[in-house]
Chains A and B, each alone.
Chain A
Amino acid sequence: DIQMTQSPSSLSASVGDRLTITCRASQSINFYLNWYQQTPGKAPKLLIFTASRLQGGVPSRFSGSGSGTDFTLTISSLQPEDFATYYCQQSYSAPWTFGQGTKVEI
């Protein structure tokens, strides 16, 4: 199975901060990497697919980059509604796997 490792596991930030979360795959996954946001009590929401493509309706302050084994999710200017847990997920080969999550706190 492909292992996905996110860093950091948690972080504290302020409104307006620029934030970067990284995700590393245990082997090359080309660009088959997705990012999700989950707020407490809610289902996850797709933000970015195939590493860098913004899902419809997602604000442009979110962006993704990377290919192969190393990927990043960037939030250019953190907003109050962005405090959540973020997960990466590879869809290169089954079984699909998620990172352990990054919790973004105030």
Chain B
Amino acid sequence: QLVQSGTEVKKSGESLRISCKASGYRFSTYWIAWVRQMPGEGLEWMGFIYPGDSEVRYDPSFQGQVTISADKSITTAYVQWNSLKASDTAMYYCARVTGDNGLDVWGQGTVVSVSS
């Protein structure tokens, strides 16, 4: 399973790191994807990371805006912002990528609320 960190309420300009703790499978051998869902909107793929070697691929819209990382010693993946904007207000999901490139296990989501 994937268990995400809790709701965050922040102000514009603040930094933030949210986490996704994996258990029950070999963390290092599956990509972990991050997906954003803004209020009332659809799903957006942000990027993913291979914890085995920390290779990361970003959607161009998120490149430079967030940093995706992972610590395989504690089977946890992260998304980090250095300077939040109100437009970062959203639900963020992590999900495991299968060998067939589906997202088969999802975290429960982390709500990030940013006020200006």
A residues near B (Cβ < 8 Å) are 1, 32, 34, 36, 38, 43-46, 49-50, 53, 55, 87, 89, 91, 94-101
Contact = CB atoms under 8 A, between A and B. Distances in A.
Secondary structure at the B interface, as helix, strand, loop or mixed, is strand
B60 A55 contact: no
Contacts of A1: 60
B17 interface: no
Interface residues of B, number: 24
Instruction: Identify which of A32, A43, A45, A55 gathers the most chain B CB atoms within 10 Å of its CB.
Output: A43
Interface of B: 33, 35, 42-45, 47, 57-61, 93, 95, 98, 100-104, 106-109
B59 A95 contact: yes
